[in-house]
A and B are shown apart, each in its own frame.
Chain A
Amino acid sequence: MADAMIEADGLLKSYGETRALAGVSFSVPAGSVLGLLGPNGAGKTTAVRILTTLALPDAGRARVAGIDVVAHPAAVRRQIGVAAQDATLDGLLTGRQNLVLVGELSGMRTGRVRTRAAELLEVFDLASAADRVVKGYSGGMRRRLDLAASLLTRPPVLFLDEPTTGLDPVSRQGVWEVIRELIGSGVTVLLTTQYLDEADALAGRIVVINHGRVIADGTPRELKERSRTAHVEVTLAEPRPEAADVIAPLVSSQVSVSADGLRLGAAVDSAPGLATALVRALDLAGMLADNIEVRQPSLDDVFFALTGARDKEGAQP
């Protein structure tokens, strides 16, 4: 892709005996957001460390803004902003001092750094805590400050490694807000996350990786369509032991029954008129249903389908 701002091509990386990346390729077009999704230990952070010049690949090529990360790491560092998984801040400095230090070390003039730091502290809702020592910040404040630090020089390419891991729901929303604003501004973003809702909410395209390999690549919608399985849940007015047999012909998995016998659940192939067919079958058997819910596949379902399948495959020699 000619206008790709981030390109990974066949990246291989092992740490001792552990293979972190087993040939990972993806690219991020300028101005778009890619979500790199995978469970813990899938290789997401390793990929980001290579792309941000922190680690060298054993094989493969990586380019950021068209610059090879191995051949010209210093030039790559001028193009990128990085918010790492463990917020990389100096706990003994104040929020403002942290930003000024990062700005100065990035080559910004002191006067400009001060103006820019004040501006970002305002934007990230940290102005009132600006002159407090970072050690006393909450997790959400640290992440916001880390994001602010990565934006000081207005880099055209941004790497956000698990920006909300370990945050409470409110702080998470706060960080999402900030990231959404960035996305609108035309910067190219690579975002890693273990949360599907996060990838769904923020990324235009998702690359799923597991065990150091890309196992799926597409828009959130395409990935959901890939898994045809929906889920149905029937709530009965009163428990009936034969209810499971009644709906069994209409579903594609074994029917699970709750302890009180009132709720039945099963996987279904999304077929037209499924809800009507269920109502009819229950009615014919003389059963009263309080509620029938057909849930379309979530990214979670897709994710577990993908990674589960991969694990089984991996178990076969």
Chain B
Amino acid sequence: MTPVVTQRPRETAGTRASTTGVTERIRNVLSMTRRNLVHISREPMQLSDVTIQPVLFTVLFIYLFGGAIPIPGGSYTAFILAGLLTLNLTTSTMGTAVGLATDLHEGMIDRFRVLPMWRPAVLVGRSLADLLTACLCALVVAATGLAVGWRTSAGLMPIIAGFALVLFFAYSLSWVAACVGLNSKSPESAASFGFIVLFPLAFVSNAMVPTQHMPGWLQAIADWNPVSAVTAGARQLWDNPNPSASISAWPMQHPIEAALAWSALILAVAAPLASRFFQRRTTE
């Protein structure tokens, strides 16, 4: 039988360096991303919030509210699609929080911690896997939209840019979710984050309804809500009705710039913070 281990003491001269090379880091991130994708494939119901929920929301909003909400310059269907995309992608970042909280809750994190790996790969790998599921969500929303009559006259590049704008925002938000997951006592408490933070964030915006009819103070919040900038940006890129264009608040006048700025800012703050929280949570 092959010996299970060898007694040879390991060379220490070259291995004492505590840094991992860039290639090694990328390999670590890819391994972790693949692990998280396997998780999803094992429990497909995890995907319900990026597959079934978008279909449900699209049908509900269009057929329930569609007739009741007049949209200046177009149909509710043309108006709502960008909003539905933002809504679904915003709320689905909850998965990142729950996933990380679960990882910390189970023993697997200790296995990662005794391996000579690049530790942030745990976070980056998860965020990339979540970005891939967000892409799937975007496809489902677009397909459902097309099926119920959403159309765009925009060219291919602006269409892709619109999706990219919302996905970039969702990616930056998933790092906020990571911060929450890393500070949660349990996966369940991480899940409640969605209802307390993400739902108001998604709904107090121009995603579902034009903000013009909201009370003044609420409209001010909605017009500066990053979700509104992202949604208005996608509508502008897709040539869909964008009632916010008549609002004088800066983000509504420059929604694409505002959306990019918000996303970059959130990412720049949340990613290093998540890394710090991870460090703190795994130090004893």
Contacts and interface: CB of A to CB of B under 8 A. Distances in A.
Q: A and B from one assembly?
A: yes
A196 to B, nearest CB: 26
Given A78-B10, A78-B15, A88-B108, A54 B5 contact: no
Contact of B114 (A77, A89, A90): A77
A186 B110 contact: no
A67 B16 contact: yes
A117 B39 CA distance: 20
Given A84-B107, A123-B2, A104 B27 contact: yes
A29 interface: no
Nearest to B282: A54
B112 A105 contact: yes
Chain A's interface size range is 35 or more
Nearest to A46: B284
Contact of A107 (B108, B110, B116): B116
B184 to A, nearest CB: 20
B111 A119 contact: no
B7 to A, nearest CB: 3
A73 B31 contact: no
Contacts, number: 129
B10 A79 contact: yes
A86 interface: yes
A177 B3 CA distance: 14
B27 to A, nearest CB: 7
Contacts of B276: none
A157 to B, nearest CB: 9
Contacts of B113: 53-54
A123 B18 contact: no
A133 to B, nearest CB: 7
A104 B25 CA distance: 11
Contacts of A107: 20, 24, 27, 116-117
A185 B8 CA distance: 10
A231 B81 CA distance: 83
A133 B43 CA distance: 12
A260 B83 CA distance: 84
A193 to B, nearest CB: 19
B16 A90 contact: no
Given A78-B116, A84-B110, A54 B4 contact: no
B281 interface: no
B7 A31 contact: yes
A53 B116 CA distance: 11
B6 interface: yes
Contacts of A74: 17-20, 116
A97 interface: yes
Contact of A158 (B5, B42, B43): B5
Contacts of B280: none
A156 B9 contact: yes
B28 interface: yes
Contacts of B116: 74, 77-78, 106-107
Contacts of A89: 107-108, 111
Interface in B105-152: 106-108, 110-117, 121
Interface in B77-122: 106-108, 110-117, 121
Given A67-B16, A74-B116, A154 B111 contact: no
A66 to B, nearest CB: 7
A75 B4 contact: no
Given A120-B4, A151-B5, A182-B4, A53 B117 contact: no
A250 interface: no
A107 B31 CA distance: 11
Contact of A88 (B1, B107, B283): B107
Contacts of B7: 30-31, 156, 185-187
Contact of B4 (A30, A53, A84, A123): A123
A92 B39 contact: yes
Contacts of B20: 74, 107
Interface string B272-284: 0000000000011
A31 B8 CA distance: 10
Interface string A61-82: 0000111000011110111111
A187 B42 CA distance: 37
B38 interface: yes
A143 to B, nearest CB: 13
Given A107-B24, A123-B1, A156-B10, A102 B283 contact: no
**9 tightest CB-CB pairs across the interface, nearest first?**
A186-B7, A88-B111, A74-B18, A105-B117, A88-B107, A77-B116, A86-B107, A104-B31, A55-B284
Interface of B: 1-10, 12, 15-20, 24, 27-28, 31-32, 35, 38-39, 42-43, 106-108, 110-117, 121, 283-284
